[in-house]
Chains A and B, each alone.
Chain A
């Protein structure tokens, strides 16, 4: 009872999904179209669920409104400007073209650039740390969502038992959960 009641009572503006009503921060329609295209290319629906099913574009805006510092917002603005310019206007390109361009950009940006001691829980340092962070946020927003945790990964809120050894089958999925940006 508590579970259902409490879950339902969580107000939308507290949830990861949407920007707080009192936050002035909003992306323009043009930016949202770009963010939507990028999220869809990074985590497409395929034959299960993707970033758009999980509401990642709105969640990204929400995160920038409710969580990000000015510095992070500026960092993301820089990334969006660079990605938006790809192919002479990324958002307007056909999906296949977007994927090809973004995959190339991604490979170049994430080329390893070791910088001394690595952060324990972060991906290896990359050439373009700003893009890496943008992608990390998009990917984490997807994998913390209900659609991802119920279709792409496994998550049981209340396992109720500890089984130290179970066989791996073709259906086995890793357990998901929250992560840090």
Chain B
């Protein structure tokens, strides 16, 4: 069977592309390399587990962790209740140069990492889309904020994003559901930070969780968030956005969707006569049998590194360097966010109150550095995610020596307000940070392994210092005592915001994609995952991938109907 469109990958961007294409009447085939999983099926989604149901109290067996999850185990979300949602590193190897680690955190199954994501949802701003042009770095984005703004609204409205309207130019407001309000610790922190540091704001974290389910959410079987904060295990209520909860069901109800799982796209087939891609070659993950699927349009949404792998592996006589890689930019400019820049502080000057429920987000401090030009020793900026909580229980019991009733009494006591502050910094595009195909080794499906060579540079090092100094200053200004300040240890990739390997740009000689996410060289090939990003901003990027996917799908559908493709 031939399709109008093939979407490679069913994760955050592929799910959205499939929804938008099917809703425009296109017959769409989604090819997903991982297995099928279902919302609400107890083996696939473990949000039903009470703490005492968790195998080994939530801990992955030590030998298994070391053998199968040495990289994935670095991700905070890996536990005995979620390990089936992460790849086994032992089965899905990749290479990095000696002394240059890169943590590639992945989930191969229907829905990709949209199942486990942290749901923090922020727009990029005009400043971000202008950054490369202003600084003369990387590829100038071929779009500006106004081009994407309506698509941000479109996606936000569909997925449901809780948040507050703040009127900040560096973090544009969206079409929000009610925010999850700040608790008393956070309100006091907000007051202290905003009065002591003009220009800084502490706002409720914007999250793709339904604080309220509107009729169009309910139509897809989605219910309001139950405030459990078990989201990375899946949600039987469909209360957070994932491909399983929203985009794929929306695509499915059009009657235009076909999904094939366990279908690993090996390469995209290019026809030099027409100058177009004609289809894709697939290896069955279980039987390893090969097959070919054809379509008029192809959307590559296999995630930043997966997409680079497919393009490079699609080299042909006509395009020896890889498909759509005349610019030699495929695989280059790999970025992530600076991550694991942590400040922890305790407070004894805050109201003796508590909160009820486990809100699926915390607070956010939008970027405040270099807003009006460059007046720091580094380019670009950073934001913070954080939250205040009051601990007790096991951690209080273990904080000092003592056994018996004394230990139990300590555990029962509500601990002091504790601040957790985590910086996320922008990383500059650097063509030397790149993904290539290994020349000697293939995986068990005959696909060359990727080689990932990526390191942070001087700009990132300078930024990290300021992030940590700012974290401490804000905690102390609010009356806190810093108990931990940790930075610098995390390898690129662990921010799980990898992007940039097929950047958008105005110049076909220096970029892979045009302003519609269409490859400069192969007009019916669109790339709408993180690979498309020309710069990284410091905001969590998935909303932008989805907005680009929806926008490109709209364009592709129009081009098809106009006979342009």
Partner of B356, one of A69, A162, A178: A162
- Which of B175-183, B189-197, B313-321, B367-375 participates in binding chain A? B175-183
- Note all chain A residues with C-beta closer than 8 A to B52: 15-16, 144-146, 149
Q: Are B390 and A123 in contact (CB under 8 A)?
A: no
- Note all chain A residues with C-beta closer than 8 A to B355: 162-166
Interface: A173 (CB within 8 A) = yes
Partner of B412, one of A106, A149, A152: A152
B504 to chain A, nearest CB (A): 37
Q: Which residue of B lies closest to A160 (CB)?
A: B226
Q: Are A161 and B398 in contact (CB under 8 A)?
A: no
Partner of B397, one of A66, A139, A175: A139
Give the distance in Å from the alpha carbon of A162 to the alpha carbon of B229 in the complex. Answer: 11
Q: Are B354 and A172 in contact (CB under 8 A)?
A: yes
Q: Are A161 and B353 in contact (CB under 8 A)?
A: no
**Please, what's the 1-or-0 string for B388-407, where 1 marks a CB less than 8 Å from any CB in chain A?**
00111111111111111101
Partner of A164, one of B59, B184, B228: B184
Partner of B394, one of A3, A48, A69, A143: A143
Q: Which residue of A lies closest to B53 (CB)?
A: A10
Interface: B142 (CB within 8 A) = no
A54 to chain B, nearest CB (A): 9
A38 to chain B, nearest CB (A): 9
A153 and B392 contact, Cβ closer than 8 Å, known pairs A67-B62, A181-B59: yes
Give the residues from 73 to 104 in chain B that come closer than 8 angstroms, CB to CB, to chain A: 79
Interface: B461 (CB within 8 A) = no
- Note all chain A residues with C-beta closer than 8 A to B63: 69
A116 to chain B, nearest CB (A): 12
Give the distance in Å from the alpha carbon of A10 to the alpha carbon of B53 in the complex. Answer: 8
Q: Are A3 and B401 in contact (CB under 8 A)?
A: no
- Note all chain A residues with C-beta closer than 8 A to B53: 7, 10, 15-16
Q: Are A69 and B51 in contact (CB under 8 A)?
A: no
B356 to chain A, nearest CB (A): 4
- Note all chain B residues with C-beta closer than 8 A to A173: 392, 412, 414
Which of under 10, 10 to 19, 20 to 34, or 35 or more describes the interface residues of A?
A: 35 or more
Give the residues from 162 to 210 in chain B that come closer than 8 angstroms, CB to CB, to chain A: 180-184
B486 to chain A, nearest CB (A): 6
**Please, what's the 1-or-0 string for B210-252, where 1 marks a CB less than 8 Å from any CB in chain A?**
0000000000000000111000000010000000000000000
Q: Are B184 and A144 in contact (CB under 8 A)?
A: no
A44 to chain B, nearest CB (A): 5
Give the residues from 65 to 112 in chain A that come closer than 8 angstroms, CB to CB, to chain B: 66-69, 71-72, 99, 102-103, 106-107, 109-111
Interface: A125 (CB within 8 A) = no
Partner of B180, one of A123, A156, A162: A162
Interface: B58 (CB within 8 A) = yes
Q: Are A180 and B59 in contact (CB under 8 A)?
A: yes
Q: Are A15 and B55 in contact (CB under 8 A)?
A: yes
- Note all chain B residues with C-beta closer than 8 A to A142: 394
Give the distance in Å from the alpha carbon of A58 to the alpha carbon of B405 in the complex. Answer: 22
Interface: B137 (CB within 8 A) = no
Most buried by A among B61, B181, B236, B398: B398
Q: Are B390 and A41 in contact (CB under 8 A)?
A: no
Q: Are B400 and A110 in contact (CB under 8 A)?
A: yes
Interface: B133 (CB within 8 A) = no
Interface: B506 (CB within 8 A) = no
**Please, what's the 1-or-0 string for B44-56, where 1 marks a CB less than 8 Å from any CB in chain A?**
0000111111111
Interface: B469 (CB within 8 A) = no
- Note all chain A residues with C-beta closer than 8 A to B57: 16, 63, 140-141, 144, 178-179, 181
Q: Are A159 and B226 in contact (CB under 8 A)?
A: yes
Q: Are B58 and A2 in contact (CB under 8 A)?
A: no
- B-side residues, CB < 8 A to A, are 40, 42, 48-63, 66, 79, 180-184, 226-228, 236, 342, 344, 352-359, 390-405, 407-408, 411-415, 484, 486
A-B interface, 9 closest residue pairs, ranked by CB to CB distance from nearest: A174-B392, A159-B357, A178-B58, A110-B401, A69-B62, A143-B394, A163-B356, A162-B357, A67-B56
Q: A71-B62, A142-B394 are in contact. List 18 more A-B contacts (CB 8 A).
A: A7-B49, A16-B53, A44-B404, A66-B61, A102-B403, A117-B486, A139-B397, A144-B54, A155-B50, A160-B227, A161-B227, A162-B181, A163-B355, A164-B181, A164-B184, A168-B353, A168-B414, A179-B57
Q: List 7 A-B contacts (CB under 8 A).
A: A66-B56, A110-B400, A153-B411, A161-B357, A164-B359, A176-B393, A180-B58
